[in-house]
A = this chain, B = another copy of it.
Amino acid sequence: MRKGYRFERELLHKLWEIGFAAVRTPASGVMSYPCPDIIAGNGKTYLAIEVKMRSSLPLYLSKDEVNSLKEFAEKFGAKPLIALKVKGMRWRFFTLDMLVECRSNYKIDESIFYKGFDFDELRGLKQLRFEH
């Protein structure tokens, strides 16, 4: 069972609330294809989301995980996003170019955490900051 199932459900609810049709993918993939935790679309913007939760920062992500998300998103035609729930904080969303590279990993630490999108920004994401 994938960790943080409750958080995925919470995120799914919120995505529907802000106008996205969103689905979770199965907890255990039977195939070797890349697959994000959540896929969402609103007719204009498509999102491939990897969902993470931590009791505190930083969050480390392996390069394999990030590359797999990127690969899926490019092929599908979606924006790859990391959704991060840190205990006691609101959800934040990160594009892959926001991640901090460190040795063989990527991380999200205090230096970039507050630059993450919040839900209000995600609602208008395409307009606000994707088009650079």
Contact = CB atoms under 8 A, between A and B. Distances in A.
A36 B22 CA distance: 11
Interface string A14-25: 001001111111
Interface in A28-63: 30-31, 33-36, 39-44, 46
A80 to B, nearest CB: 12
Contacts of A20: 75-76
Interface residues on A, range: 20 to 34
A75 B26 contact: no
Interface string A62-81: 00000000001011111000
Given A21-B76, A26-B27, 13 more contacts: A9-B30, A9-B31, A12-B31, A13-B31, A22-B33, A23-B33, A23-B35, A41-B78, A42-B77, A43-B75, A43-B76, A46-B46, A46-B77
24 contacts: A9-B30, A9-B31, A12-B33, A13-B31, A19-B75, A20-B75, A20-B76, A21-B72, A21-B76, A23-B23, A23-B36, A23-B39, A24-B25, A26-B26, A39-B39, A40-B76, A41-B76, A42-B76, A42-B77, A43-B74, A43-B75, A43-B77, A44-B77, A46-B46
